[in-house]
Chains A and B, each alone.
Chain A
């Protein structure tokens, strides 16, 4: 079974700073997908960014980018020019490329952006 580990329960940075959230995972598969979801106080789960394991290029979505290290099984999220609206829980998730389709989530990192 796959596992996803987020080792930072909480992080706090000043507005406009850059912050990196870490995520590691464990799998024996070669083909899989990785996601970062944001959960603001409204509790709605919002997809932030997605990475296919077969792609070497790191995914980027505006101020959000990832550092995907397949050999190290690491998938960190970088938020540039952080904004107050980025305050939320952030969850890293793994999806198998075949077979089971449920996402495996980490326990989350509570990110607080200070004004």
Chain B
């Protein structure tokens, strides 16, 4: 059973470009979470999605950031017009339906560098 997959592992973008980060949850998992980790910081929750639905986006910046989890295919975190402050590691986690516990399994992260 493959774990959570994220790609690319490293992404370099110039200021103003778009960044697309992909996350494939573990098999059988229908819940996806995105987190951002700035240097020397813990992870910060961004958004929680189920298939075709955004459940909680309270941690998402209001502009330039969007996320989706289509019926088929991976979840996508999209950052438009990137700025230097977007440089960070972005982690995806997935969980099965397991009542309220919903243990989260993390992918290896995508390190975004904005030049």
Binding site for B on A (CB under 8 A): 4, 31, 33, 37, 42-47, 50, 52, 91, 95, 97-98, 100-108
Q: Are B42 and A108 in contact (CB under 8 A)?
A: yes
Task: Identify 16 new A-B residue pairs, CB closer than 8 A, beyond the known A42-B108, A47-B103, A102-B45.
Answer: A4-B42, A33-B100, A33-B101, A45-B106, A47-B104, A52-B101, A97-B100, A98-B100, A100-B48, A100-B58, A101-B102, A102-B48, A103-B33, A103-B43, A107-B42, A108-B41
Residue of A nearest to B34 (CB): A102
Chain A's interface: helix, strand, loop or mixed, by majority? loop
Please, which residues of chain B bring their CB within 8 A of the CB of A33? Answer: 100-101
- Point out the residues of chain B lying under 8 angstroms from A105, CB to CB: 35, 42-44
Interface centre among A42, A44, A107 (most CB of B within 10 A): A44
* Residues of B close to A31: CB separation below 8 A: 100
Closest to A101 in B: B48
- The docked-state distance in angstroms from the alpha carbon of A95 to that of B111 is 25
Interface size on B, residues (CB 8 A): 28
